[in-house]
Structure 1
Amino acid sequence: MPPALPPDSLALALWYAAPIVAQVMAGQSLADGTLEQVPGDIRPSVQDIVYGTLRRHGEGDALLAPLLQNPPYPIIRALLFCALHRLATWTDAPHTVVNQAVEAAGQLAEGRYKGLVNGVLRNYLRQQESLKEALADHPAARLWHPAWWLEKLQASYPKQWESIVSADNTPPPMSLRVNLRKCRQADYLARLEAGGIAAQARGEAGIRLQRPVPVSQLPGFADGLASVQDLGAQRAAELLDPAPGSRVLDACAAPGGKTAHLLERADLELTALDIDPDRCRQIESNLARLGLAARV
């Protein structure tokens, strides 16, 4: 049951993000569908925190080490990682981030660690310059890549490895796929512009947003006019390009982005498979929102 926190607050996003990060740190795959269980309105914010925190995991580990005498409860350690990531991206509102992290801590682990979270984050703000300077001796922390991976990159691409690392660390944009059965790409761009959402057309049905927004702000999302899907993933259906009436198998299909894209392009006899029943239900839910049908 979600706690009594404002629905659009950073505290609620951190409350959802911390357990997910803790689970990944304990060995669970992020692809296991945990993010899909977060309510739709706040999911983009939670996903941004989770992805950003995991990208910077090595940095967070190095920054927290001198600030913690004993490892805290795993979910609280994950919350601190999330808060450090948000402090790095909300540089103009550090005290707001600390306050919201403390609010989230009050709803985790029976609220026993509010003081710890407050103290660690405030100590970090006081010492952040010296803590960041110390990262120069920790390439894995400074460059957000495991040491073994950096070694492989340097060996394989001695001249390009630094640019590869830089590209890896660039957050991806939020991209949409217009359901061309219901709306033209140009018309959907016009609806975004009318709603004050800056975007550009990409490919036959893709749109790249200038900045991420909650799906609740996307025009016609609930009516199936568009889906959130990476532009690279959209290439799969375009390259396969099955003729109408083709029999298609989409294995490992959840949450159903490519399944839906294929069906938006042509009438197909499509079977979508996934090993997880819960994730199969996500496929069915996405198809229902888009007005599509497949054997799941």
Structure 2
Amino acid sequence: MTDKPSRRHAAAHQPSRAASRMSTLHLAPDSLAFALDGAAQAVGAVRAGSALPAAIQTVVATAGHAAARGAIQDIAYRAMRRLALADALLHKLVRKAPPPYVGNVLTCAFALLTDDEAHAAYAPFTVVDQAVSAIAARREFAFAKGLVNAVLRNFLRERDSLVAEASQSPVARWNYPQWWIDSVERAQPDAWQRILEAGNVQGPLTLRVNARHTTVDAYLDVLKAAHIEAQAAGAQAVRLKTPMPVDRIPGFAQGVVSVQDAGAQLAAQSLNLRDGMRVLDACAAPGGKTGHILELADVELVALESDADRAGRIAQNLERLKLQAHIRIGDAGDPSQWFDGAPFDRILADVPCSASGIVRRHPDIRWLRRSSDIAALVAEQRRILAALWPLVAPGGELLYVTCSIFPEEGEDQARWFGASHEDAVRLDAPGQLLPTAARASAGAVENSPDGTNVERSASGEDGKTEPFADHDGFFYARFQKR
């Protein structure tokens, strides 16, 4: 899970209501056919512009079987990570495009049949049988059950050759829009393939240990006693070997730990906090970084959020942690709405961005975002930074953060800010973190500043080394006011 998935999504459209207009479904809620039907509806909603989490929520609510949510979500997320490949296979195996719902069932089936990891849970011929059952259960699409059966069985007979042929297209090979592939390759010519691959693998479940309650070592002992395998992943970070629901995580309900990516945890750690400071967390919802700040120091914290509903989530998170902040509703780019005139010693500017660094957790983002969005986001980021900088006290600091891997939203913005503000001194910060999973390579293993072991690649053009730990993609730049 990432800190701000909803705000980062490209589209604000409501999920499609097509499911409510379809015929009644007569399938066992615990069947694979039922899950394929729900996942196909969710895929269709994303194609129509909805964010995947909202689409799944609507599908599950409409179906009235919450217990099926896990299977529907699993298939839908796998489909998002293989959408372009599935579309390419469908184009090769079907002469005339089928109705959208039928095509989306096939998309979900292709996702399971091309995913080696999925084979342990979904046997190939079971997938075929259950996809046909899903189609047959909808009377308006039952005519296509023969087509679905033939297409999937033909695919199984020639799986390797068909995948190889389809993968000759870069879009199908990497499962990203072409503009996205080009942008990553241009920005990271030595690591672009590794970055794209990482975005097609589900991210780990990483926890943030509440420093007010315990330490990483002590919490690892708690997990060991509960027979839960985990390892340290940062100053306050613990990575579980196997993801699990939060209600099964020891201490979660009591605020001992929170779910937060290891890369996101660097935000509060990079603020150089001290007790007594006045701190602003701009664009704060849902409150993950807000809570972390308060866990690290006794500060006067203002948590700002433009959306009132999302601001409610900040309060909920702080209540679980038994921490307090001044929650305000307002636009970070218009302080006249909420600023009381007292300057801040620290400002965390976690601004809206493309979310290109968190696609392994939100694979629908790549299909919702457009290349033309980047310029608009860059302008919005500059508007917010320009408005917040006057609020920093002399000697105070502003930390600029995005969950992006595009330099337009990262290093280019940092350089613009430094050049535009003569009283801004750039300080050390993590810089660009790339969303690459930890793995064995020729890179050396060394201690990071927070005391954890990270794998580092060869030096880049700027002489810096890049950490290749298992985290999402982020950019950090820190400035002090003269």
Same fold (TM over 0.5): yes
2:207 is the alignment partner of 1:176? yes
Q: Deviations over 1:216-248 (max 9, x none)?
A: 321222222221111000100100133223332
Q: 284-293 vs 256-265, which deviates more?
A: 284-293
Tell me the TM-score normalised to structure 2 length. Answer: 0.50
**1:3-152 equivalence runs, <5 A:** 5-6=29-30, 17-29=39-51, 49-68=75-94, 69-74=96-101, 77-87=103-113, 88=115, 89-92=117-120, 93-98=123-128, 112=141, 115=145, 119=149, 121-152=152-183
Task: Pick closer, same or farther for the CA change 1:205–1:28 going to 2, 3 Å.
Answer: same
Q: Would the aligned equivalents of 2:106 and 2:148 in 1 still touch at CA under 8 Å?
A: no
Paired with 1:111 and 1:148, the residues of 2 have a C-alpha distance of 37
Task: Pick closer, same or farther for the CA change 1:152–1:203 going to 2, 3 Å.
Answer: closer
Give the drift of 1:206. 0.4
Give the drift of 1:275. 3.3
Identity percentage over the alignment? 44
Paired with 2:325 and 2:173, the residues of 1 have a C-alpha distance of 46
Q: Deviations over 1:169-213 (max 9, x none)?
A: 444222111122233322321222233321101222101122322
Give the drift of 1:117. 9.3
Code of the residue aligned with 1:86 in structure 2: it is L
Q: Would the aligned equivalents of 2:29 and 2:35 in 1 still touch at CA under 8 Å?
A: no
2:292 counterpart (261, 273, 293): 261
**1:194-273 equivalence runs, <5 A:** 194-273=225-304
Q: Would the aligned equivalents of 2:97 and 2:103 in 1 still touch at CA under 8 Å?
A: no
Q: Would the aligned equivalents of 1:33 and 1:279 in 2 still touch at CA under 8 Å?
A: no
Code of the residue aligned with 1:91 in structure 2: it is H
Paired with 2:281 and 2:73, the residues of 1 have a C-alpha distance of 25
Task: Pick closer, same or farther for the CA change 1:163–1:23 going to 2, 3 Å.
Answer: same
Paired with 1:36 and 1:267, the residues of 2 have a C-alpha distance of 37
Q: Would the aligned equivalents of 1:17 and 1:46 in 2 still touch at CA under 8 Å?
A: yes
Code of the residue aligned with 1:70 in structure 2: it is A
Q: 143-152 vs 258-267, which deviates more?
A: 143-152
Paired with 1:36 and 1:249, the residues of 2 have a C-alpha distance of 32
Paired with 1:245 and 1:289, the residues of 2 have a C-alpha distance of 23
Tell me the TM-score normalised to structure 1 length. Answer: 0.77
Give the drift of 1:128. 2.2
Paired with 1:258 and 1:42, the residues of 2 have a C-alpha distance of 31
Q: Would the aligned equivalents of 2:85 and 2:167 in 1 still touch at CA under 8 Å?
A: no
Task: Pick closer, same or farther for the CA change 1:137–1:281 going to 2, 3 Å.
Answer: same
Task: Pick closer, same or farther for the CA change 1:157–1:265 going to 2, 3 Å.
Answer: closer
2:305 is the alignment partner of 1:274? yes
Q: Would the aligned equivalents of 1:41 and 1:216 in 2 still touch at CA under 8 Å?
A: no
Structure number with higher helix proportion: 1
Q: 197-206 vs 155-164, which deviates more?
A: 155-164
Code of the residue aligned with 2:119 in structure 1: it is T
Task: Pick closer, same or farther for the CA change 1:238–1:73 going to 2, 3 Å.
Answer: same
Code of the residue aligned with 2:44 in structure 1: it is A
Gaps of 5+ in 1: none
Code of the residue aligned with 2:306 in structure 1: it is I
Q: Would the aligned equivalents of 1:101 and 1:117 in 2 still touch at CA under 8 Å?
A: no
Task: Pick closer, same or farther for the CA change 1:116–1:172 going to 2, 3 Å.
Answer: farther
Paired with 1:10 and 1:182, the residues of 2 have a C-alpha distance of 42
Q: Would the aligned equivalents of 2:91 and 2:97 in 1 still touch at CA under 8 Å?
A: no
Larger C-alpha radius of gyration, 1 or 2? 2
1:188 counterpart (216, 219, 224): 219
Structure number with higher strand proportion: 2
- Which SS does the other structure have where 1:240 is aligned? coil
- Which SS does the other structure have where 1:262 is aligned? helix
Q: 32-41 vs 193-202, which deviates more?
A: 32-41
Code of the residue aligned with 1:282 in structure 2: it is R
Q: Would the aligned equivalents of 1:175 and 1:228 in 2 still touch at CA under 8 Å?
A: yes
Code of the residue aligned with 2:97 in structure 1: it is N
Paired with 1:293 and 1:176, the residues of 2 have a C-alpha distance of 21
Code of the residue aligned with 1:247 in structure 2: it is R
Gaps of 5+ in 2: 1-19, 21-26, 328-482
